[in-house]
Structure 1
Amino acid sequence: MALAWLGDARGAPHEASALPDAATIDRAVDDVVERYRLPGIAVGVVAEGEVAYRATRGGLAAGSGDAVNADSVFKIASLTKAMTTAVLARLVDAGRLNWNDPVIQYLPDFRMHDPWVTRHIQVRDLLIHNSGLGAGAGDLMLWPEPNAFTRADIVAALAHLKPTHGFRERYAYDNLLYVVAGEVAAAAAGKPYAQLVREEVFQPLGMDRCQVGSWSREAVGNVAQPHMLQDGRSVVVRADGALVPDSPSMAAGGIRCSLGDMLKWMQAWLDEPHPKHPWLSDTQRRVLWTLHMPMPISQRMRDWDGTRMYGYGYGWRVSDVDGVWKVAHTGTLMGMYASLVLLPDLDTGFVILTNGEGEQARTVLEQVLLEHFTRRGVATPGVGHYAALLEQDRAMRPASTPRAPDTSARRPASADALRDQQGVWRDPWFGEVELCPHEGDLRFRARKSPRLDGRVMEVGNRWLVDWDDASVDAEPWLAFEAGDDKHRRMRLSHVDPTADFSYDYADLDFRRVAPCEDSP
């Protein structure tokens, strides 16, 4: 299904946007920073083709004294996806590929779990979350970073990830197929993905602070670091080293940009294409902003925005808000939250970049800014109103809503615990993990993902892993069962059923392949 927003045919329901009220937005930004204790934030607005507002607050890293400014580089996370699809669209304009080409035309070794899907999945299917995989399937190969997985590992792993529903049946967010899309672009153009992004996006649009691939933190400078709240204050987690690596997640969520860069990116989309030398043809702009895969409309979207239409384009989410066409996306990584919203009917857009634990802050500020433009001339609620609604939603969750169990009675498992289950275990896509004694504890260690290292804890008659790294914030239960081949299996599941789906423990299916190295 594809649904295009026919803006010219229906006529714009609102008058052209006026310039933003800087004082009103300043108050909202300050309120959000204070309320949610954000270490740093950058906010910008484009209106009527020009940068109409910019604001920065806070620092690159807590306690560093280095202030955020318009050139500070932030992780934009899944805002990257629209840059990946822009690269593909430029290749379509150049005649190098077509959206309906089979993926195996460019990646002959590519395999999905179902051979029929392998033969029929097209480039377009990589972009709209309709593959049949469950939400976040295989994301443990991408995050937490750093890890030792490669893009080749990711492509090979897809053959082992079992679908949870039918191909093209419904929407379920995934990241791995965007990694594949980056590899398709590289194969079609004969250049690495990072080089393509620089040549097809950054250079023609003048986005000279954006970073892709591997780069030097010192040489680039002015790089925001991620934070999480610990004991009520923001602390740096997963700080960058001297060399920022070219991570396998790059095409799905690995690009970093400054506020200034993102304002140029927004202007490129809101400006009319140059008739003789367009950066991207009008045809491909429309393709990227067409609703290709319907998405569920939440009650909050109905209540807050009056949304009646919502779905995924190519790297963009398409919806209506207060009768206005909205093209947008969010970006989420540990300690970094971003949002980009375009309102093409109003020739307006805005971007929010934060380097703190800011999911609620992003939700609230985005809503306040949205209504600042979509309900022009009408008194609209502020930050406090929407923050209170979020708190009310949490307080009024039905009793049947899954909740995290109380695990406070946990105690470290002894080195002799689970003696019959200790050893090296292997999953066909995630690789090997150790469940072995170490310095008096029983520990779980993933060989390719060093942050997934922790003590096994006993909780009643159950076992869980308490990760050493506090930024790995989703603990798994461990369970053991007999497999179909009479070999034992180890399965993982979320302790907190509301944990982020990128901790896709349910997709793991370990079989024991060797004893612990020091076992007799």
Structure 2
Amino acid sequence: MKKLLNSIILGVTLLLIGQASLAQKVSKLNETELMLHNMQGKIYGWMTEWKVPGCAISIVKDGQVLWSVGLGQRNTSTKQFVTSQTLFPIASCSKSFTAAAMAILVDEGKVDWNKPVKHYLPDFELSDTEAEHTVMVKDLLSHRTGLPRHDFVWLYSSLDRKAIFKSLKYLPLSKKPYEQYQYNNLMYMVAGVLIEKVSGMTWEKFVEERLLKPLKMTQTVLTYPELFKSDDYAKSYRKQEEQLVEAGFGSNVDAIGPAGAIKSNADDMSHWLLMQLQQGKYENLQIVSSKNLKENHTPLAVVYPTEAKYPELGFNTYGMGWNQNVYRGAQRLQHNGSIEGYRSQMTLFPNNNIGIFVTTNSSAADYYFVNVVTNNLADMLFSFPEIDWHSRMKQEKADAIFAEEKKMKEQNANRVLFASMSHNIDSYAGIYEHPAYGILQIYKSDKGLLAKYHNQTSELIHFHYDYFLGKDLLENIPIQFITNFKGNIDIVQIEFPNAGIIQFRRK
């Protein structure tokens, strides 16, 4: 009888303990749900202020998906809503996929991080022969090859990957390899070409078979034609005279796919974050070895120019597909993505088992909005005292506008008023060519000179003498016409951003 009584007492005690434990779990869950509900209200407010029609967010923590949600509109004309399955181009967030794909080939002994690219791609050519033979595989993925961006080679052009790869030898380097961090999309494209050469599969096929399928990222696609087959993708928008207009899909990003062509959603990206946090494993399947995924996460270059704007942030470094720094004392890995009117950001806190992904369909806010959302979510998850990141980013944007206006004033101060062109306007018209940058057509209209470049037409605003400033695609880019010894205009010289001066010669 005594044993029975003790058993009953023990059973009741365990039941009460179990109920108390369950109550604690429910209480904790409700607290998290309440925090996310409150945060969602704030995000809607920020979306209105930053002119962001729609966004999608996923959060993972301790091996679980904490939040995967769509907010706002994916199409402002049809008023269709964003869901957690709405596809967004994630642009340069794709770089981490290319780095992970290369890590798999390193795992298999098919690639060595420290071998020259030339070893795998004999037809890899740069304008600097020494650099061409020096650059290693990991350098392609860490922006330290010496080649500046040269994005106008591919942006809005009709060139395919093969043609762009062949044109690399005509692009000037601005630094020696390893001399300085210089963000470069073209070298990620080369990494994709290397993956194809070594694996026998295109970059798209390799990523699909070796990453997307085992990660169950079933809705993620790699090209625009695939995106357009979906009935749930976000259109993107840009600001035009205080209004949002569609940005379109003409960037040609698929040609440099390994640098920025992935289109995904909040649900699928939560799987990507989990794999990164779980040392290359997803649902007990080891997709990438812990050793070589760690190589992706290891700093290789100091991001230049070096700056830590706020006391909560450390200096930025870059590994392979990831920026590394410190956020309020916590190690942070992060990468942004920008194409057409889309802006995305993915963030890992590896020591805290937290991952955050934010994507939007508006360039009006640039990266300010995704930074506000990501940082506030991080503060919430860490239970940090709240920082007014929204006001900080508003001030950053105002400072950027002021700096641009100051630059334009300084530029205009150097203008020689009423200094006419040195030739009759008809003398400037013609077809000019660069072996990598392609065809530049200059022709006369009732507005003056126009430039047709990569199927985009830009007005040229006369500055003084033979100097002009571009509009639209060539917005505020300095353009100079150069006269040869015979007195004829035979060169158009354009100072492209993050590339330097490029000369187009008359055909």
Normalising by the residue count of structure 2, what TM-score does the alignment of the two structures yield?
0.84
What does residue 490 of structure 2 align with?
488
Choose 63-72 or 177-186, whichever is displaced more: 63-72
What secondary structure sits across from 1:81 in the alignment? helix
In structure 2, the residue matched to 1:517 is none
Q: CA deviation at 1:58?
A: 1.8
The alpha-carbon distance between structure 1 residues 141 and 401, as it changes in their structure 2 partners (threshold 3 A), is: closer
Q: Partner residue of 1:68? A: 82
Per the alignment, in what secondary structure is the counterpart of residue 255 of structure 2? Answer: coil
Counterpart of 1:187 in structure 2: which amino acid?
Answer: K
TM-aligned CA distance change 1:155 to 1:476, over 3 Å: same
> Of the candidates 447, 452, 471, which is equivalent to residue 445 of structure 1?
452
Worse overlay, 48-57 or 484-493: 484-493
Question: Is the helix fraction higher in 1 or 2?
Answer: 2
Q: Which amino acid aligns with 1:116?
A: E
User: Is the counterpart of residue 139 in structure 1 residue 151 in structure 2?
Assistant: yes
Deviation, 1:225, is 1.3
1:212 corresponds to: 222
Query: Are 2:293 and 1:293 equivalent residues in the alignment?
Result: no
**May I ask how many residue pairs the two structures share in their alignment?**
469
Aligned partner of 1:57 among 71, 84, 88? 71
**Alignment match, 2:201:** 191
Verify the 8 A CA contact 2:143 2:182 in the aligned structure 1: yes
Cα gap change, 1:183 to 1:23, in 2 (>3 Å): same
Distance 1:368 1:377 in 2: 10
Question: In structure 1, which of residues 167, 191, 203 is the aligned counterpart of residue 177 of structure 2?
Answer: 167
TM, length-normalised to structure 1: 0.82
Query: For residue 512 of structure 1, what is the aligned residue in structure 2?
Result: 506
Structure-2 change in CA distance of 1:24 and 1:382 (3 Å): farther
Q: Does 1:99 align with 2:113?
A: yes
Give the CA deviation at 1:157: 1.9
Q: Please give the secondary structure, in 2, of the residue aligned with 1:433.
A: strand
Kept in 1, the 8 Å contact 2:280–2:287? The answer is yes
Query: Shift in Å at residue 423 of structure 1?
Result: 1.6
Separation in 2, partners of 1:231, 1:292: 42
Instruction: Measure the CA separation in 1 of the matches of 2:139 and 2:108.
Output: 20
Partners of 1:197 and 1:330 lie apart in 2 by 20
The residue aligned with 2:346 is 340
- CA 296–219 in structure 1, closer or farther in 2 if over 3 Å, else same: closer
The 5 A counterparts of 1:364-513 are: 364-373=372-381, 376-391=382-397, 393-394=399-400, 417-437=424-444, 442-446=449-453, 449-451=454-456, 453-461=457-465, 463-464=467-468, 467=471, 472=473, 474-482=475-483, 488-493=490-495, 501=497, 504=499, 506-513=500-507
1:151 to 2:161 alignment = yes
Partner residue, 1:83? 97
Larger Rg: 2
CA drift of 1:430 comes to 1.0
Partner secondary structure for residue 247 of structure 1: helix
Decide whether the 8 Å contact of 1:32 with 1:383 is kept in 2: no
The aligned counterpart of 1:283 is: 291
Moved more, 347-356 or 381-390: 381-390
- Counterpart CA distance in 1 for 2:101 and 2:322 is 14
- Of residues 322-331 and 156-165 in structure 1, the stretch that sits farther from structure 2 once superposed is 156-165
Out of 219, 223, 236, the residue aligned to residue 226 of structure 1 is: 236
Letter in 1 for 2:128: D
Q: Which runs of 5+ in 1 are unaligned?
A: 1-17, 495-500, 514-520
Percent identity reads 20
Aligned to 1:11: none
Letter in 2 for 1:311: T
Aligned partners of 1:215 and 1:245 also within 8 Å: no
Letter in 2 for 1:139: D
C-alpha displacement at 1:313, in angstroms? 0.8
Distance 1:484 1:117 in 2: 35
Tell me: CA distance 1:483–1:154, structure 2 relative to 1, closer, same or farther (3 Å).
farther
CA distance in 2, matches of 1:480, 1:168: 34
User: Helix, strand or coil: the match of 1:509?
Assistant: strand
**2:334–2:345 CA contact under 8 A, matched in 1:** yes
Say which of 319, 328, 336 aligns to 2:325: 319
Kindly tell me: are residues 507 and 72 of structure 1, through their superposed partners in 2, closer, same or farther at Cα, counting changes over 3 Å? farther
Q: Which letter does structure 2 place at the counterpart of 1:371?
A: D
Contact 1:44 1:350 in 2 (8 A): yes
| Pairwise CA distance, 1:217 | 4.4
Indicate if the aligned counterparts of 2:273 and 2:348 stay in contact, CA closer than 8 A. Answer: yes
> Over aligned residues, Cα RMSD in angstroms?
3.2
CA drift at 1:325: 0.7
* Worse-matched range after superposition: 224-233 or 122-131: 224-233
The residue type paired with residue 207 of structure 1 is M
C-alpha distance in 2, partners of 1:78/1:484? 45
* TM-fit CA distance, 1:317: 0.7
